[in-house]
Structure 1
Amino acid sequence: MTITINPAIVSARVAKRHKNGRTPVFAYLSIAPIIAIMISIVGLPLLYSLFLSLNTTNPITKRWVFVGLGNYTKVFQSADFWAALGRTVYFSAVSVSGAIILGTVIALVLNEKFAGRGVLRSVVLVPWAMAPVSIGVLWSFVYAGNFGLLNGLLHDLGLGFFATAWLGDGFRALNLIALTQIWNQAPLTSLMLLSGLQSMPANLHRAAILDGAGPIRRFFSITLPWLKPSLFFITIVATINSLMTFDILWIMTRGGPGAATTVLSWLGYLQSFQFLRFGEGAATLYVLTALSLLLAIIYFVILSPNRRHRTVDQSTFSQTEETLRPVVRRHDMVRLPAWKPRQRIHPANARRYGRMLFGMTASIIFLWSALPVIALILISLSPAGDLIRTPPSLIPSRLTFDNYVSVLMADSGSTSVQAKRVPVSLLNSLSIGIVVSLVNVALGTLAGYGFSRYGQQRFFSGTLWALLITRMIPALTLVLPFFILFRSLGLIDTHVGLIIAYSSILLPLSSWMMKTTFDNVPISLDRAAIVDGCTRFSMLRKVLIPVVRPGIIAALIFCFLVSWNEFLFAMILTSTPKTQTIPVVIAGFLNQARFYEYGPLFAASVLAILPPVAIAFFFQRYLVQGALSGAVKG
């Protein structure tokens, strides 16, 4: 299609539109589907959950009794609640700070040019792309007391006297789960910071180097101020992810030993689905939702890069003052005393030591990211007897594909019921993931266009913020009303029910990603197409969608990963193999607790991580673009 532009006509039409001040009907129609759907699948369930929190129910008589704020009073008077709140705050503080520090180091390394950078970037993304259920299975076996991988390594090194039941001590178990959360979330932090680093002008550091600034000084005076907007967003995302942690806890400790790892999300689950105290469970989860929103507001007030009257360290290098002004934001600059480096190490030796330190850091990052995954693959190829031998060892007696045969071949003679469910569950995850991704990205593309082009208007900006706030709502807050409502509507144990539930978390994600993608397309392209005779819909379909195709692919990848890895909705809303997804089947292995299940369990876990790992390796470019769009996999 050839587009001709007549500047006079374009100017006249633009001036007329601004004079009239009318918003095209198409703009409202573009966001109408997503508004209607989110009200139906998020707004109404939230109101129903609020209604639950104001009532008590008898699971036998099914009678409802209105108690007003009685459930909240009972929650706040409970010692279990305050203990769980303390653990939640501690767990979130450790996991968020660890993920940000480690993610920053990884991003700084990946921002440098070196041989194998592409491979390392793909390897780093693997822990983030893996399903939390698979991560829980892997690390619970690493920390297992009698025959875990960590104790096996200690015995192989002759340090068996250090072996212990790593998850047997409550405080240590909470910290080990936080470490597992860091392993899972640090790649997301590094991905988003890397996108910020790659957008930073190179002349900032070149000018600072000419003034004699070392790498540490440049990091705190240039790099860190530049990354503050990204760090602000990352801190909110990491905090919400930590507050909502459920899958890893369910697999690794289930709140134990005792109640040592019972955080608010797990406490709400216990009250709702174990003790059937729906009112108290809903009240606890609403408190968790309020905590998420409160922390987001506090971060915004304290960390927001747009706050007035903040003092940001200016570079001490007089020649770069004007260059650094965009980074430190005009009047927020303050002067520091002139600084000159003292020569302590010969420059040639400093460069040599720097290269050595960089190589060691890159190697440690590779081992940190890859070794646990390699260990999972290795134990999936080990005979069942090797997995329970004492003393444990990392070295298998032989390698075998028997575990894969038992989960992939229906006539393999496997005695494991769960193993026979793996092929169907893989197909369920694949089909649901494809449908959910296509539907949500199609709707998100429409909405993203409306939010991008008309986001300055109050209605559109308010609607967008309302969508984003839904990402701060713990999934447990929604799954409880979903379970009750779907049961009455006959949607329990159906693919349609899962698609609806998954869309509650994917529609805001896809809309935000596509909104950011459209922001990078000049609006003059829209105007030229309309002048050429296109309707707004044909303009979007024929002109803009081909331009934003990379963003659409990135959104499809993120939506598929979230759908493939989702565990909570699938666990609560499915009950038979015909609809169960692969994370639910993997979790089912743990309920049987028979030694011959371990081999098929690890084989199924490896099969479950193959699609995410393949995506991390072959589509890393689109994942980086998704990070630029502010995408979040919760």
Structure 2
Amino acid sequence: MRRHTGVSGFLAFVMILPSIVLTLWTVGYPVVDIAVTSIHSVNRFGRTTGFVGLANFAALLADPIFVASFWRTLIWTASVVAGTILVSLPIALVLQEDFAGRGLARVIIMLPWAISLTMNAVVWRWILNGQYGMLNALLFDLGLIDGPVEWLAQARPAFMIEIAIGIFVSMPFTVTILLGGLASLPSEIYEAARVDGASAIMRFRALTLPLLKPFINMAIVLNIIYVFNSFPIIWVLTQGDPANSTDILVTYLYKLAFRYGRLDLAAAMSIVMLLILLVFSVAYASMAMRSQSAE
């Protein structure tokens, strides 16, 4: 019996070995190549010209635009993810209820997900255009403004608008995860809580939130990874301008590589971003395991 199990395990490993090799090649080779590039000097034609060690990383740390983009990325990620969870949870709770038009409401909520991020950003750029945008036209018709407003011309309002759009486009995916979690919750405990006289708020705090915690954690982790690396919204709306004041790491990386021709610095920044996400993933996994063991 043990021999048969061992043979079956070996055959299973042999069958999945090509997939493992392909995955290691497609994922591992680019990472190794970028890591090698990050410790070399590279000219504008992409040719390695000499070993520089950690000089590229030191140059990044001395670059004020990189430092500002780093902190702005943290603000962008935390704001979008937190806002997405806070907005998506009540929407998911409402869509879980049985009411007339629930199917249509779910379709409407999912519509932004059916459109690419780039197309979403293009539509919002048109809406926010200072000369012919729909937002200015609406506010002018309502008498709230007496002239065109350039919504994306100043750093602070532009960045806050981008955060709001980030929440808007992240909401459908998060609502889908939370709806899946709500659908899996046992209805018996809610019936028992109603019989015991528990109010809706008490049921939410004592039952829904604790039982929905794994799905909320999943939504947080996936959204952090997606939002941290999100490129289209900020690039299409402002391209990190004015004067790099809305840049996050991924948009500044693009500028370094393809606008300024600093492929070595861009490779170093890619490694930094990879390490940040790796540290976050390891920290979250350890916290999740501790939480499960404590329960």
Regarding TM over 0.5, the answer is yes
- The aligned amino acid for 1:177 is E
Matched, 1:183 2:168: yes
Matched, 1:106 2:91: yes
Which position in structure 1 is the counterpart of 2:65?
Answer: 80
Which position in structure 2 is the counterpart of 1:123?
Answer: 108
Which position in structure 2 is the counterpart of 1:39?
Answer: 24
Report the CA distance shift for 1:23/1:77 in structure 2 as closer, same or farther (over 3 A): farther
The one of 104, 114, 130 equivalent to 1:145 is 130
Once the 2 structures are TM-superposed, how far is the Cα of residue 303 of structure 1 from its aligned partner? 5.1
The one of 251, 254, 259 equivalent to 2:239 is 254
The one of 265, 269, 283 equivalent to 2:268 is 283
The one of 156, 172, 184 equivalent to 1:199 is 184
- The aligned amino acid for 2:258 is F
**Which structure exhibits the higher relative contact order, with contacts defined as CA atoms closer than 8 Å and separated by 6 or more residues?**
2
Matched, 1:174 2:159: yes
Which position in structure 1 is the counterpart of 2:285?
Answer: 300
Structure 1 distance, partners of 2:5, 2:14, is 20
Once the 2 structures are TM-superposed, how far is the Cα of residue 135 of structure 1 from its aligned partner? 0.5
- The aligned amino acid for 2:169 is N
Report the CA distance shift for 1:39/1:297 in structure 2 as closer, same or farther (over 3 A): closer
- Work out whether residues 229 and 305 of structure 1, in 8 Å CA contact, stay in contact via their aligned partners in 2: no
Structure 1 distance, partners of 2:193, 2:259, is 60
Once the 2 structures are TM-superposed, how far is the Cα of residue 260 of structure 1 from its aligned partner? 1.4
Q: Which runs of 5+ in 2 are unaligned?
A: none
Which position in structure 2 is the counterpart of 1:457?
Answer: none
Once the 2 structures are TM-superposed, how far is the Cα of residue 193 of structure 1 from its aligned partner? 0.8
Which position in structure 1 is the counterpart of 2:193?
Answer: 208
Residues 207-245 of structure 1: per-residue CA shift (max 9 Å, x gap): 111222111111111001111111111111111111101
Equivalent runs, 1:107-506 vs 2, <5 Å: 107-161=92-146, 164-302=149-287, 306-309=291-294, 332=295
Report the CA distance shift for 1:272/1:231 in structure 2 as closer, same or farther (over 3 A): same
- Work out whether residues 232 and 299 of structure 1, in 8 Å CA contact, stay in contact via their aligned partners in 2: no
Residues 439-480 of structure 1: per-residue CA shift (max 9 Å, x gap): xxxxxxxxxxxxxxxxxxxxxxxxxxxxxxxxxxxxxxxxxx
State the SS of the aligned residue for 1:151. helix
Residues 245-304 of structure 1: per-residue CA shift (max 9 Å, x gap): 101122111001211111111111111111111111011111111111222233334456
Once the 2 structures are TM-superposed, how far is the Cα of residue 168 of structure 1 from its aligned partner? 1.6
- The aligned amino acid for 1:165 is E
Structure 1 distance, partners of 2:46, 2:219, is 47
- The aligned amino acid for 2:187 is A
- Work out whether residues 232 and 304 of structure 1, in 8 Å CA contact, stay in contact via their aligned partners in 2: no
- The aligned amino acid for 1:87 is R
State the SS of the aligned residue for 1:147. coil
State the SS of the aligned residue for 1:167. coil
State the SS of the aligned residue for 1:307. helix
- The aligned amino acid for 1:251 is V
Residues 82-140 of structure 1: per-residue CA shift (max 9 Å, x gap): 10111000011110001111111121111111111112112211112211110110111
State the SS of the aligned residue for 2:146. helix
State the SS of the aligned residue for 1:308. helix
Structure 1 distance, partners of 2:4, 2:145, is 80
- Work out whether residues 42 and 49 of structure 2, in 8 Å CA contact, stay in contact via their aligned partners in 1: yes
The one of 76, 88, 94 equivalent to 1:91 is 76
| Worse-matched range after superposition: 89-98 or 149-158 | 149-158
- The aligned amino acid for 1:225 is P
Q: Which has the larger radius of gyration?
A: 1
Structure 2 distance, partners of 1:287, 1:155, is 46
Structure 2 distance, partners of 1:152, 1:18, is 76
State the SS of the aligned residue for 1:56. strand
- Work out whether residues 103 and 188 of structure 1, in 8 Å CA contact, stay in contact via their aligned partners in 2: no
Structure 1 distance, partners of 2:45, 2:180, is 54
CA RMSD of aligned residues (A): 1.9
Residues 365-402 of structure 1: per-residue CA shift (max 9 Å, x gap): xxxxxxxxxxxxxxxxxxxxxxxxxxxxxxxxxxxxxx
State the SS of the aligned residue for 2:293. coil
Report the CA distance shift for 1:18/1:138 in structure 2 as closer, same or farther (over 3 A): farther
Structure 2 distance, partners of 1:194, 1:222, is 15
- The aligned amino acid for 2:179 is L
Equivalent runs, 1:522-533 vs 2, <5 Å: none
Report the CA distance shift for 1:63/1:49 in structure 2 as closer, same or farther (over 3 A): closer
Structure 2 distance, partners of 1:181, 1:168, is 18
Which position in structure 2 is the counterpart of 1:447?
Answer: none
Structure 1 distance, partners of 2:121, 2:106, is 23
TM-score, length of structure 1 as denominator length:
0.45
- The aligned amino acid for 2:22 is I
Once the 2 structures are TM-superposed, how far is the Cα of residue 48 of structure 1 from its aligned partner? 0.5
Which position in structure 1 is the counterpart of 2:42?
Answer: 57
